């Protein structure tokens, strides 16, 4: 468990990565795309696709390529776009 600014994060980074990999796997299967085909479509090696789905480990560039291949680029574009302010100091710093 990690601690950040008076809030508890109940998942580790590794657990979050694994959940992301599981979501991508579900999308791939829903679209009836094999790991091999996703590798071809994305330009990411088959080994990297397979490792990602098994462990959650992947480079950001490879994740982006997979998202593009699956038609999920918008989800990446929206990442971190609507992050809530933790306190008034963040609002002030951002507006300087």
Instruction: Tell me which residue of 71, 87, 61 sits closest to 4, measured CA to CA.
Output: 87
Give me the residue spans of the domains in the chain. 2-94
Residue ranges, the chain, pLDDT below 50: 1-3
- Indicate the pTM of the whole model: 0.82
How many other C-beta atoms can be found within 10 angstroms of the C-beta atom of residue 79?
A: 10
pLDDT for position 74: 95
Q: Which CATH architecture has domain 2-94?
A: Orthogonal Bundle (1.10)
Phi, psi of 72 (to 5 degrees): -115, 25
pLDDT for position 9: 64
Condensed to tens digits (0 to 9), the pLDDT of residues 65-75 reads 999 999 999 99
How many other C-beta atoms can be found within 10 angstroms of the C-beta atom of residue 72?
A: 15
């Amino acid at each position: 468990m990690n601690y950040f600014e008076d809030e508890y994060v109940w998942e580790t980074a590794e657990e979050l990565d694994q959940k992301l990999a599981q979501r991508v796997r579900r999308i791939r299967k829903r679209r009836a795309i094999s790991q091999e085909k996703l590798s071809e479509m994305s330009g990411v090696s088959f080994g990297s696709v397979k490792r990602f789905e098994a462990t959650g480990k992947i480079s950001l560039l490879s994740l982006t390529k997979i998202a593009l291949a699956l038609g999920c680029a918008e989800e990446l574009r929206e990442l971190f776009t609507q992050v809530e302010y933790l306190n008034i100091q963040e609002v002030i710093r951002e507006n300087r």
